[in-house]
Chains A and B, each alone.
Chain A
């Protein structure tokens, strides 16, 4: 069964600290994996996309990693800011089928001063 699981469900960290969010998937055959950021009351916005051959990709203070062998991805946030408070959603695509996007339920991150 194709599934995407994210952990933790929620996380509270102090401003300036680093954190890592996890995404494990059982999706097959794998095409790519995206991380989205969703601010409260807004639609999701893409942070990064990773394909099978990519291990690491950075977007400013956000760094995503992918281990296609263990089917795990992580999103590392460095020197967190209050504006990082949001939900982070992992979305995995498969290569076949019309409905081939699988969404995680997200990690709710709260950065406190």
Chain B
């Protein structure tokens, strides 16, 4: 089944404890992206990747890191999480740039930072 998977689905952590949220897609998509979704603000892009080893900042990149060593994986790293990073996170992938291609979203990761 074609899909985007994220792990973990739920995570409660404490301020400053490094964490990684994994994202994997099995559709051979070139473009991958991370979003956060907060009430009243909608989806905001954190980072995106046009292809392997090519990543760039989205609208809200502060406090996050990403890497794209393989085409299928695009992990999101929080080196020192803070409470304002409590949010619902979505990974998405598309065959090419999402302007002209449908994005496929993962199931989401709900993160709480205490």
**Taking beta carbons and an 8 Å cutoff, which residues of A are in contact with B?**
31-32, 34, 41-46, 49, 89, 93-95, 98-101, 103-106
Closest to B103 in A: A46
Contact call B58/A99, Cβ cutoff below 8 A: yes
Q: What is the number of contacts between chain A and chain B, taking CB atoms within 8 Å?
A: 48
The answer to whether A103 and B99 touch across the interface, beta carbons within 8 angstroms, is no
Contacts of B105 in A (CB 8 A): 43-45
Binding site for A on B (CB under 8 A): 4, 40-45, 56, 58-59, 90, 92, 98-100, 102-108
Complex interface: chain B residues within 8 A of A103 (CB): 42-44
5 contacts between A and B (CB under 8 A): A43-B92, A44-B103, A93-B99, A94-B99, A101-B45
Query: Nearest B residue to A97 by beta-carbon distance?
Result: B99
Query: CA separation between A101 and B31, bound complex, in Å?
Result: 14
Known contacts: A46-B102, A46-B103. The answer to whether A105 contacts B90 by CB under 8 A is no
Which residue from chain A places its CB closest to the CB of B97 in the assembled complex?
A100
Interface centre among A34, A44, A93 (most CB of B within 10 A): A44
Name the distance in Å between A42's Cβ and chain B's nearest Cβ: 6
Known: A101-B45, A105-B42. A43 touches B106 (CB 8 A): yes
Top 8 A-B pairs, shortest CB-CB distance: A43-B105, A105-B42, A93-B99, A103-B42, A103-B43, A46-B102, A44-B105, A43-B90
Question: Is B99's CB under 8 angstroms from A104's CB?
Answer: no
Given A42-B108, A105-B40, decide whether A49 and B102 contact each other with a Cβ distance below 8 A: yes
